[in-house]
Amino acid sequence: MIRASISNNPSDNEIVNAVSSIKNLQSGYPIQDQLESNSVLTQHSKNIIDEVFSKKTVKFSPRLLKQLLLLNLPTELNLKIINEYYKVNSESKTIINKSIALIPLRNALYNADFHRAIKISDVTVGHPNYISHQGAILKSGIIKLISTAAAVTIFTKFGVTSLIDAGVLPASWDHLGAINSILLTYIINSSFFVTIVKFGRQLISSGGDFLTWQRGTFYSHWFKHADEMLFNSKIVEADRDLNNGESNPAITDEICRPAPEIRSNTDTLNPGYDREGHKIRLMQLKDDLEKLKFQAYWMTGGDGFEWVEPDQDPAEIQWREHLEKYNKPALEKAEKDALKWADDLIKESS
């Protein structure tokens, strides 16, 4: 049916229209089926995507990928589309830009589909091609800085000497080359350290208030995986927002899996996979300031604290109304765990 609706050399519009037919298919099934990877709806939807990209003449550009992701299909299908993108563009230089990758990430977070949101991060800004691309940017920047400094220094030094030999400048100007080299070195060093400071702030802020790097992670890893940390911090933040400030251990354990204690990496940690095939991202949770405040509140008996009713965010109300229909189990679990802290406190005091 889908094959008959598109030509042998389909345009982007034909592909988008064919894939968007999944939207019509969804109306005939319960909305919760969109989250189930083994549901009839999901399987039929995947078959449609397979049919569309079964033609070898299909050209899958970043622009087309963005159009398909903007359809806001379930995350399971977005992962399927991204996988097809890498299949069609199998070159090692193929990457998905952060701006495009944010589209399915936001969709997954809106649906409280946090486990698949982690997968979105892994196959976009955490993909080996993307990490290699970031590494090339870092390497290129360092080479350009060193090359520029060396070239300008040599030119300044020997340029003055050539002008003296040509009789344009008197011999008393011979010291000018050395002075220029000193000034140039100072300017380059100042610019370099300013860049390092800005670079460091960017890397540290990528984890927001929630994530940081495990101790022993090398600095070059910070740069190459900064966007991956940014994405995962968004996931942790959304998970906490849903669970009234508490993190779901299943989410944090997946993101913050500790690196194995091997002698070869006790000083410098390396990302990879453990023996069970689980990904090691070298991230860890920051101290929860809200928990520290709460502990201080109970330890002081509330002295120095003022109770303030939290504001009702209209966006959060709308989000929870959406989850009431789309992902009710996640919402019910969040409400069930809302007073978990009180239960824990009672157990500790009893």
Helix (H) or strand (E) holding 18, with range, is helix 12-26
Asked whether 199 and 223 are in contact (CB, 8 A), the reply is yes
Asked whether 326 and 34 are in contact (CB, 8 A), the reply is yes
Q: Are residues 43 and 164 in the same domain?
A: no
Helix (H) or strand (E) holding 62, with range, is helix 62-69
Kindly state the average pLDDT of the residues 191-195. 58
Asked whether 101 and 120 are in contact (CB, 8 A), the reply is yes
Helix, strand, coil percent values for the chain (each to nearest 5)? 65, 5, 30
Q: Are residues 144 and 257 in the same domain?
A: yes
Q: Are residues 244 and 144 in the same domain?
A: yes
Closest among 44, 103, 39 to 75, alpha carbons compared: 103
Residue 322 lies in a domain: no
CA distance linking residue 186 with residue 100, whole number of Å? 40
pTM of the prediction? 0.77
Q: Are residues 60 and 130 in the same domain?
A: no
Residue 91 has pLDDT above 60, yes or no: yes
Residue 318 lies in a domain: no
Q: Are residues 53 and 197 in the same domain?
A: no
CA distance linking residue 239 with residue 114, whole number of Å? 7
Q: List, for residues 211-250, the tens digit of each pLDDT value.
A: 988 888 888 888 899 999 999 999 999 999 898 888 899 9
Asked whether 105 and 121 are in contact (CB, 8 A), the reply is yes
Asked whether 95 and 103 are in contact (CB, 8 A), the reply is no
Where in the sequence is the domain holding 203, given as residue range(s)? Answer: 125-291
Which pLDDT belongs to residue 230? 93
CA distance linking residue 184 with residue 58, whole number of Å? 53
Q: List, for residues 49-62, the tens digit of each pLDDT value.
A: 999 998 888 899 99
Q: Are residues 265 and 130 in the same domain?
A: yes
Kindly state the average pLDDT of the residues 102-116. 96
Q: Residue 40, Cα to own-chain centre: how many angstroms?
A: 31
Tell me the two tokens of residue 102.
């944010």
Out of 22-36, 108-122, 196-210, which region has the weakest mean confidence (pLDDT)? 196-210
Which pLDDT belongs to residue 263? 45
Looking at the structure of the chain, the number of domains it has is 2
Residue 31 has pLDDT above 60, yes or no: yes
Residue 70 lies in a domain: yes
CA distance linking residue 338 with residue 7, whole number of Å? 53
Kindly state the average pLDDT of the residues 325-330. 78
